[in-house]
Structure 1
Amino acid sequence: MSLSERKKAIKLSADLAMASTRNKATRWSRALIANASSDGNSNKVLTEHVLGSSSPSQRVRKSFTTYSHSVRIRSCRNILRRNRVVHRTKDRVVACFAAKKLVQKRTRRLKSLLPGGKSMDDVCLVEETLDYIQSLRAQVEVMRCLVTASELMILNPS
């Protein structure tokens, strides 16, 4: 196995392990699992080994619930609708337009970075991003601990 293949396998197994700890409660974890299981035979084998023997796509479908999510989206949209302010001066309209374009550009970029982000609405995107960042931080900490432990084993073979 080449170095790049090992790197891909380690990253894939770390991503799958991180996604499996979320119990498919978040969209990004379901997207990671779905992408890994659809990418090829070797990935399917690794996915089944990390997650268990049942099909990952079946587990993703079983865990997907949209009712509470759609209710939350409707309530957020209603709040936004009530709080809209009509800008009367020309300067405020131009500034508002520029700010809106900047937010849209950054939102598109964030959606491209988050697994499964392209199918998320703006309300859910922030929640999912925060959860994903926490999981990535935990993953980095675990990998640091593994590196430290392996260095200690190399230095002090018993």
Structure 2
Amino acid sequence: MKWVKQEFLKKWIWGLRKYSSEKKSMSLMERKKAIKVSADLAMACTRNNRTRWSRALIANASKDGSSKILTEHLLSSSLPIRKSFNSTRMRSCRNILRRNRAVRRPKDRVVASFIAKKLVQKRTRRLKSLLPGGEFMDDVSLVDETLDYIQSLRAQVEVMRCLVTASELMILSPS
């Protein structure tokens, strides 16, 4: 995890420098966007295109004209894309679903099962909307990608907290 944080910090700082060198005077909103875009790209690039969410973040950033140069440079320095889809797991999930459909249940269990199924579908749709690129994922890879995305977000937050703490210490104790 320490390596991920160091790699993220290095790429994030590089991205911020690249962004600020292109625009000498930025408004508050432009600075906010620069911080967010460079943090997203640094986080996605740290994953080396191994996850769908990282590829989705890079694709979203490459659509934006102002962050296109930054995106292109990060893409040229990252590793080739690897597929993360596991078809064997998907087949086994389908087999489980087929077996469960064949079982007869009493009516009250059918109603409870219907309600639970609708609740799971609703939450799955919500999760797909929160995860970059999630709307194009099947349910099995959605869980794996979400867990990986959460780990990356945690690392990003920890790095940003360390930077804030360090900058506060520098302000409080000037040399």
TM-score (norm 1): 0.85
Amino acid at match of 2:61: A
Aligned to 2:71: 47
Aligned partner (choices 142, 148, 157) of residue 165 of structure 2 = 148
Give the 3-state SS of the residue equivalent to 2:49 in structure 1.
Answer: coil
> What is the CA distance between 1:115 and its match in structure 2?
0.2
Q: Does 1:63 align with 2:85?
A: no
Aligned partner (choices 18, 23, 30) of residue 43 of structure 2 = 18
> What is the CA distance between 1:152 and its match in structure 2?
1.4
Amino acid at match of 1:63: I
Change (3 A) 1:84 1:14: same
* Structure 1 portions without partners, runs of 5+: none
Aligned to 2:15: none
Could you say what the CA RMSD is over the residues aligned between the two structures, in angstroms? Answer: 2.1
Give the 3-state SS of the residue equivalent to 1:23 in structure 2.
Answer: coil
Amino acid at match of 2:146: T
> What is the CA distance between 1:55 and its match in structure 2?
9.1
**What does the per-residue CA deviation read over 1:43-62, in whole Å, with 9 as the maximum and x for residues that have no partner?**
1023234x16x398xx7xx4
Amino acid at match of 2:124: T
What is the distance in 1 between the residues matched to 2:88 and 2:109?
Answer: 33
What is the distance in 1 between the residues matched to 2:97 and 2:32?
Answer: 45
Contact 2:50 2:83 in 1 (8 A): no
> What is the CA distance between 1:69 and its match in structure 2?
2.3
> What is the CA distance between 1:157 and its match in structure 2?
2.6
> What is the CA distance between 1:84 and its match in structure 2?
4.8
* Structure 2 portions without partners, runs of 5+: 1-25
Aligned to 1:117: 134
Larger mean Cα displacement after TM superposition, 148-157 or 25-34? 148-157
Number of matched pairs = 150
Contact 2:61 2:71 in 1 (8 A): yes
Aligned to 1:100: 117
